[in-house]
A = this chain, B = another copy of it.
């Protein structure tokens, strides 16, 4: 937890920001913060700076006060990420890592080679997803919560939603067949579509191409999802 993210809706009184159980535990047990400790804090979807810690007492839960917020959050990546739903035990880590890297718009989409059972996973519950995103923000000292949607049906998304999402952006389909090398440092907004472990099927590739997405590859090496995502993001937006 590299920053304490405060919820502007969770104030105990004017200028006094409450802490979640997880934050309180972190401050008590890991940081061992004492009254008056100056902590790095940020307002969710707001600015970053410092605040002063007041430990829990009989009359009041632990909280942060005297906020001095002077810094903007780090620059987001100008990318819309559309990912075939990963398997549940990869999803939490993936959400955390893409958030830490600065992705602000995410669609988790169905694909023929995504097991239907993945859509039943408790990891997909809203609180669970929001928690992963929050932890990604805390990791990277960011405050801006990504927007995300679950897209259980592939076709309506690519036919009806994708065209407007794609406007003014480069569309890149991670699909290493008849593909050009993934561009480096593109310096413009993009939509990046990442398939499931087995890849997109022919129909899906055709629909992506129809919408204007171009197939790109990363060279001869086949990388696991946990590696390919940071590699792609870093290659498209190295700075």
Q: Footprint of B on A, CB under 8 Å?
A: 2, 74-75, 93, 96-97, 100-102, 139-142, 181, 184-185, 219-224, 226-227, 230-231, 233-235, 238-239
A185 CB → nearest B CB, Å: 7
Query: How many identical subunits does the complex contain?
Result: 2
Residue from A96, A185, A221 with most neighbouring chain B CB atoms (10 Å): A221
Bound CA–CA A238/B217 (angstroms) = 12
19 A-B pairs within 8 Å (CB atoms) are namely: A75-B220, A93-B226, A97-B226, A100-B221, A100-B224, A101-B223, A102-B221, A140-B221, A140-B222, A140-B223, A141-B220, A141-B221, A142-B221, A227-B230, A230-B230, A231-B233, A234-B235, A235-B235, A238-B238
> Which residues from B are CB-within-8-Å of A185?
184, 238
Q: A93: which B residues are within 8 A, CB to CB?
A: 226
Say whether, besides A230-B230, A234-B230, A235-B238, A223 and B181 are in contact (CB < 8 Å).
no
CB pair B139–A224 under 8 Å, yes or no, is yes
Nearest-CB distance from A117 to chain B (Å)?
19
Instruction: Tell me the bound Cα distance from A39 to B102 in angstroms.
Output: 40
Is B139 a contact of A219 with CB atoms below 8 Å? no
**How far in angstroms is the closest Cβ of chain B from A77?**
10
Instruction: Determine the distance from Cα of A220 to Cα of B101 in the docked complex, in whole angstroms.
Output: 10
Closest chain B CB from A183 CB (angstroms): 9
Q: What residues on B are CB-neighbors of A234 within 8 Å? A: 230-231, 234-235, 238
> Could you tell me if B141 and A222 are in contact, using CB atoms closer than 8 angstroms?
yes
Complex Cα spacing A74 to B25, Å? 48
Residue of B nearest to A96 (CB): B224
Contact between chains at A184 and B139 (CB < 8 Å) = no
Q: How far is the CA of A221 from the CA of B77 in the complex (A)?
A: 12
Whether the Cβ atoms of A74 and B141 lie closer than 8 Å is no
CB distance from A73 to the nearest CB of B (A): 8
- Shortest Cβ distance from A194 into chain B, in angstroms? 14
A227 contact set on B, CB distance < 8 A:
97, 100-101, 230
| Contact, CB under 8 Å: B230 / A181 | no
Measured CB to CB, the closest approach of chain B to A187, in angstroms, equals: 12
Q: Are B239 and A181 in contact (CB under 8 A)?
A: yes
